[in-house]
Amino acid sequence: MDMKKVVAFKVLLVLALTVVSTSCKKSSSSKNSSRATGWNVNSREGGFQYSTENKEQETSPGLVFIEGGTFTKGRVQDDVMHDWNNSPNQQHVQSFYMDETEVTNVMYMEYLDWIKRVYPPSDENFRAIYHGALPDTLVWRNRLGFNEVMTENYLRHPAYGEYPVVGVSWIQAVEFANWRSDRVNEFNLEKAGYLKRDAKIIDVSADQTFNTDTYINSPTLTYGGNEEIINPDGRGRRNVQVDADGNETGLYATRSSGIISPKYRLPTETEWEYAALGLSEIRSFNLYRGRKKYPWDGQYTRSGKRKIRGDQLANFKQGKGDYGGIAGWSDDGADITNAVKSYDPNDFGLYDMAGNVAEWVADVYRPIIDDEFNDFNYYRGNVYTKNALNEDGTVKIVTSDDIVYDTLSNGKVVARNLPGEILQVPVDENETFQRTNFDKSNVINFRDGDKRSSRYYESFGDDEDDVENENSNTSKMYNSPKPRIARDSLGNIIKEYDTSNNRTSLINDEVRVYKGGSWKDREYWLDPAQRRYFPQDMATDYIGFRCAMSRVGSKSKNKNKSKN
């Protein structure tokens, strides 16, 4: 009897293991089958190929994760100027990434080195590319000050290597972010076996470069179409498969591969302010315990901790003729800028979100934040473009002969595009017809709303519908000076100031917001809600920048965290 029980038990055990094994196989096979059709995905025989692994976005070099949420944007405490430049309004920000520190001199020098190697300034065709990327070191000069040591050394001397780069215009900051995006994705693709190893150094040239958008849209045109680089011999078999007919698939990475990261860019004003406040550590049941005035806790600029009590928490101007305090005590450690990470980070892990240098953000400046129209990822400055196409439908790639140069209002010449990029053109009726969310390429002037800055203010009422379309352009709403930049028959640049006495504003579509206090600013400007503006093609000795990157996928990295 006992023997029969043992046999029966063994039979049941075998059946149970068989069922478990079968269910596991079914589970395993279902993982690679479509929930839409039931067909196999990533089959060796061909068909739909897609990464079925849910990959978390990898944090790109230099960045830290900022979990999004809601906050009060704008000044919530002191407003001694009474200019109502940033009235409080509630906004929601999606999760994103931001540079841990400001972009430093050594980071920017790497950019200059790359440009100099790929587009040598000794070649007349490329000279303006390198010169257009150079920071303006003359920003350190002062008519009644001796600052030549900074003019000559600040950018390049190793002693200033980890100091934030200055003398960079908004336009130059944007171009740095674009370059950084391509270099990071180029490296990611090389590591994954899609590109020839070290081609980024030994094979790159003006007509043979990598661009992220070009690779995504037409990978065979990357590196000037050099197959040796795009399809390297001995490439990793992990990304190349052979179908039933002997054809290779998976030669090129796509967005669905999860390898190509979103682009580096300047943060929007809303993102920057949200990240600077660092509200992540003062949440209680989804409510804020009080209001933060600075990126750190408390209402004062000096530390209250016993070991460092009285020490300044940021680099700023403490008073007239006082840029750092008395030497040896109560000193903030810097007279001009200071090395990044010299002061404690905020609760998001970001350094120098108050003091050191102020920072460019992406937005075009307007006195009013139109939160009545939008309170999600607020940003003013959208100019929508699309890829230019050849007659055969392929994308049009910029060559060395197609580089377009812009002459800025200060006479400086910069490259608008570089070889290897896809030529961009404004969107047209094909994209805008019957759309409700946008109706033209340039929407910077949408709902400007600030009639008091208009020279036509007396000629119409407060109703927005009373303004004729031609009067709603920024050139009318904001009557700012317009210097004349032209070239004579010999190619020499003619520069003329706008001497009109009838100008009523300094605001136009080429002024950008910058945030945060700097080494030259008083404590008042350390409040993250403060906002100022400056021409996008000009630079100073107190404005730098840091990059940001959009988050794709989940809002939070900690999906299993406990909730209040």
333-351 pLDDT tens trace: 788 999 999 988 998 999 9
- pLDDT at position 216: 95
Q: Which residue has the higher pLDDT, 244 or 285?
A: 244
Q: Which residue has the higher pLDDT, 524 or 398?
A: 398
Give the amino acid at 506: L
Buried b or exposed e, range 11-27, using 16+ CB within 10 angstroms:
eeeeeeeeeeeeeeeee
Q: Which residue has the higher pLDDT, 404 or 44?
A: 404
Highest average pLDDT, of 39-43, 394-398, 477-481, 525-529, comes from 394-398
- pLDDT at position 449: 62
Q: Which residue has the higher pLDDT, 530 or 324?
A: 530
SS3 of 43-81: ECCECCCCCCCCCCCCCCCCEEEECCEEEEECCCCCCCC
- pLDDT at position 317: 64
Under 8 Å between Cβ of 339 and 105: no
Query: Which range, of 50-54, 208-212, 247-251, averages the lowest pLDDT?
Result: 50-54
Average pLDDT, the chain: 83
What six digits make up the tokens of 551?
A: 């988050």
Buried b or exposed e, range 400-423, using 16+ CB within 10 angstroms:
eeebeeebbbeebebbeebbbbbb
Assess whether pLDDT exceeds 70 at residue 327: yes
Under 8 Å between Cβ of 96 and 550: yes
Assess whether pLDDT exceeds 90 at residue 168: yes
Assess whether pLDDT exceeds 90 at residue 244: no
Q: Kindly state the average pLDDT of the residues 434-448.
A: 89
CB half-sphere exposure, 36, CA atoms < 13 A: 2
Highest average pLDDT, of 178-182, 196-200, 390-394, 431-435, comes from 178-182
Highest average pLDDT, of 56-65, 159-168, 462-471, comes from 159-168
Q: Which residue has the higher pLDDT, 392 or 450?
A: 392
Which superfamily does CATH assign the domain made up of 58-191+259-378+509-558 to?
paralog of FGE (formylglycine-generating enzyme) (3.90.1580.10)
Assess whether pLDDT exceeds 60 at residue 186: yes
Could you give the percent of the chain with pLDDT greater than 70?
Answer: 75
- pLDDT at position 234: 55
- pLDDT at position 280: 55
- pLDDT at position 211: 96
User: What is the pLDDT confidence band of residue 14, given thresholds at 50, 70 and 90?
Assistant: low
- pLDDT at position 161: 96
Q: Which residue has the higher pLDDT, 504 or 458?
A: 504
Question: pLDDT tens-digit profile of 281-299?
Answer: 544 444 444 455 666 666 6
Question: pLDDT tens-digit profile of 482-496?
Answer: 888 887 777 788 888
- pLDDT at position 518: 93
Assess whether pLDDT exceeds 90 at residue 445: no
- pLDDT at position 13: 66
Rounded to 10 deg, the angle between the 105-118 and 170-191 helix axes is 80
Q: Which residue has the higher pLDDT, 305 or 143?
A: 143
- pLDDT at position 40: 86
Assess whether pLDDT exceeds 60 at residue 266: yes
What global pTM score does this model have?
0.86
Highest average pLDDT, of 157-171, 361-375, 463-477, comes from 157-171
- pLDDT at position 258: 86
Q: Kindly state the average pLDDT of the residues 26-39.
A: 70
- pLDDT at position 31: 63
* Strand ordering across the sheet containing 548-550: 63-66, 96-99, 548-550, 264-265
User: What is the pLDDT confidence band of residue 464, given thresholds at 50, 70 and 90?
Assistant: very low
User: What is the pLDDT confidence band of residue 410, given thresholds at 50, 70 and 90?
Assistant: confident
What six digits make up the tokens of 337?
A: 């800028």
Under 8 Å between Cβ of 315 and 339: no
Q: Which residue has the higher pLDDT, 328 or 281?
A: 328
Centre a 10 Å sphere on the Cβ of residue 308 and count the other Cβ atoms it contains. 12
User: What is the pLDDT confidence band of residue 152, given thresholds at 50, 70 and 90?
Assistant: very high
Give span(s): CATH 3.90.1580.10, the chain.
58-191+259-378+509-558
CA geometry: angle at 439 spanning 434 and 445, to 5°? 160
Query: Which range, of 89-103, 130-144, 267-281, averages the lowest pLDDT?
Result: 267-281
- pLDDT at position 289: 47
Under 8 Å between Cβ of 280 and 347: yes
User: What is the pLDDT confidence band of residue 372, given thresholds at 50, 70 and 90?
Assistant: confident
Q: Kindly state the average pLDDT of the residues 535-540.
A: 96
Assess whether pLDDT exceeds 90 at residue 222: yes
- Tokens 């972010």 label which residue? 177
Distance CA 217, CA 187 (A): 18
The pair phi, psi for residue 429, each rounded to 5°, is: -60, -25
- pLDDT at position 293: 66
